Amino acid sequence: MIFAIAGRELRSLFLSPLAWSILAVVQLILAYMYLAQIDLFMQLQPRLPMLPSAPGITEIVAVPLLGNAAMILLLVVPLITMRLISDERRNQTLSLLFAAPISMSAIVVGKFVGVMTFLLIMLLMILMMPLALLLGGSLDFGVLAAASLGLFLLLASFAAVGLFMSSLTAQPTIAAVSSFGVLLLLWILDWAGNNVGVEAGQGNDVLAYLSILRHYEALLKGVFNSADVVYYLLFIAVFLVLSIRRLDAERTQQ
Amino acid sequence: MSMDSLITVENLYRYYGELCAVHDLCFEVRRGEVIGFLGPNGAGKSTTMRIIGGNLAPSAGRVLINGIDILDRPTEAKAELGYLPESPPLYRDLTVDEFLTYCARINRIPRPQMRAAIDSAKERCGLTEVGRRLIVNLSKGYQQRVGIAQAIIHSPSVVLLDEPTVGLDPIQIREIRSLIRDVANEHSVVLSTHILPEVQSVCDRVQIINRGRLVLNESIEQMREKLQATTLLVALRSMPLINELESISGVQGVESLDDGRVRISYATDDDPSDAIVEQAVANGWGLHELIPERETLEQVFVDITSSDAHAHVEAESEGAVA
């Protein structure tokens, strides 16, 4: 059931030129950053052996690449998730799902799985770049794995927010703008924590802790802390449950 | 509630804010029955259909599909239900085959039976030729057929069709009607419409709803009896005196019309047509028209809905005075 919905979602994504152009543009921009990062590594290379505990190619090329990818995907994921539910509401196809013997949670999870499959394809395409370095060197797979897990969880959180925003409206653009707003806000919550946190104490620590970026940074450094993973899982669960509640409320509205 | 009732609607209410769209609706649909759900626009037909179809929660009351409450156990209840909403829910960027496969999957048809279910739905709806075409490129009539195919693909015991012939040309309407008759052979059908001939040609039972209330619930046979002629329109070249006509046996009243014809009323069991013809021939009245005036479903419909509206207006003005 879930996979039927996920499959259709993925299909619809690839039937529109939007998905293809997003894949292409993201790949192009990240490839440029990747090449710039390799350039930097080439410059640094002669001096690296002299440093104690010098950063390797994973730290210099792969980690910044995944860090930048998070920033770009923050802009891009809302465009992919915007149509999930709002488009169905606008075309009145939602009644097909409501009249079928499936639960609201299956609908929401199905759509989430569909969009996550797309994002996973995108993630694999991005990971091809650091993996290509294996042709001429060796990678720190521990760091790379932690960073990719971080990016995956981050993307899943973006998608969950996007899905919820899409369930609120019948206009895809409104869904895109509002999920972008929410994500950016969650991203920069951290600033308040950083700047004034030292003097003001507790309240800002909480804000910093809630920031979606803070947890990603730890994983990027290769630090696998289960608290960070649990943060993302909870974050995803909350927005999925909110979407289910929203769809349930659809029937009782007005 | 009989064992054989597939849909039971009990004391259904639905409010949109202050507006009461459905008011204390009760009815049953039995196995194998085709029900015409009639009403003017805005009477609450679609709201009722959406509630039965699980798209809208009622404000109060219950809906049982095959004895299963649609709010308590929605997935089981919906498995017995096929629903075509007012605007067919089609993914326009899929082909007919892809769309029907998707519908088969979300309706939990097991994989081995899926192919057969899709093929039979396509065949019954006349879609075999267009399986590989994109839905967006189909004509409205064909899109409507895809909508119906979607509703019957999992062979539900009840099919709800909400105004399935709106916006189609007369030929398409005839095709869709014969398709509905075909569907009715195997499923119970609830057909909502505001087109009266549709009901007369397809349905076993008529339910008229007005302002959210059920105002008439009768079988087509009962309706036919009701609709029997009780007046004749008669045109004569040389008009006799009115009391000459009144003296014919069986004639209860004579009314002369502006165009020179007369309307003769009589009791249902005593038709005076024969006597009138005999008299006309014997007296040389020059009879050239004799038309039994049959009350149509349309008149019943207009009478019921407009008298109700009238009563409503009166009630309101009384309220204003009080």
The model's pLDDT over A197-224, given as tens digits with 9 standing for 90+, comes to 455 455 567 777 888 888 898 888 888 8
User: If pLDDT is split at 50, 70 and 90, which confidence band does A4 have?
Assistant: very high
Q: How much of chain A, in percent, has pLDDT values that exceed 70?
A: 94
List the CATH code of the domain at B228-293. 3.30.70.100
Is residue A57's pLDDT more than 50? yes
Fold of B5-221: Rossmann fold (3.40.50)
Strand partners, B293: B231
What's the token pair of residue B222? 């009962």
User: If pLDDT is split at 50, 70 and 90, which confidence band does A234 have?
Assistant: very high
B162/chain A closest Cα distance in angstroms: 12
User: If pLDDT is split at 50, 70 and 90, which confidence band does A20 have?
Assistant: very high
Interface of B with A in 87-116 (CB under 8 A): 87, 89-94, 98, 102-103, 105-108
pLDDT at B321: 41
A1/chain B closest Cα distance in angstroms: 6
CA B181 to chain CA centroid, nearest Å: 13
A4/chain B closest Cα distance in angstroms: 6
A182 touches A157 (CB < 8 A): no
A97 contacts B94? CB cut-off 8 A:
no
pLDDT at A229: 93
Q: What is the pLDDT of residues A99-125, one digit of tens each?
A: 999 999 999 999 999 999 999 999 999
DSSP string, A55-114: --HIIIIIHHHHHHHHHHHHHHHHHHHTTTTHHHHHTT-HHHHHHSS--HHHHHHHHHHH
Nearest CA-CA partner of B248 in B229, B265, B224, B269: B265
Indicate the helix (H) or strand (E) that contains A127.
helix A104-132
Indicate the helix (H) or strand (E) that contains B214.
strand B213-219
What residue ranges do the domains of chain B occupy?
5-221, 228-293
Is residue A32's pLDDT more than 90? yes
pLDDT at B3: 55
pLDDT at B20: 87
Please report the number of interchain residue pairs, chain A to chain B, with beta-carbon separation below 8 angstroms: 75
Nearest to A103 among B16, B75, B89 (CB): B75
pLDDT at A254: 59
Ranges under pLDDT 70 in chain B = 1-3, 226-229, 268, 295, 307-322
Interface check for B41 against chain A (CB to CB < 8 A): the answer is no
Distance CA B49, CA B86 (A): 9
**Using a CB-CB distance cutoff of 8 angstroms, which residues of chain B are in contact with residue A98?**
53-55
Between B291 and A13, whose confidence is greater?
A13
Interface check for A252 against chain B (CB to CB < 8 A): the answer is yes
pLDDT at A195: 57
Is residue A193's pLDDT more than 80? no
A97 touches A1 (CB < 8 A): no
Residues with Cβ < 8 Å from B52, sequence gap 6 or more? B7, B9, B63, B65, B70, B81, B83, B160, B190
Is residue A235's pLDDT more than 90? yes
B232 touches B291 (CB < 8 A): yes
pLDDT at B320: 43
Residues with Cβ < 8 Å from A100, sequence gap 6 or more? B78, B103, B106, B107
Q: How confident is the prediction for chain A on average, in pLDDT?
A: 89
The ipTM value here is 0.86
Contacts 24+ apart (CB under 8 A), B216-225: B216/B300, B216/B304, B217/B27, B223/B297, B223/B300
Written as one letter, the residue type at B122 is K
pLDDT at A66: 93
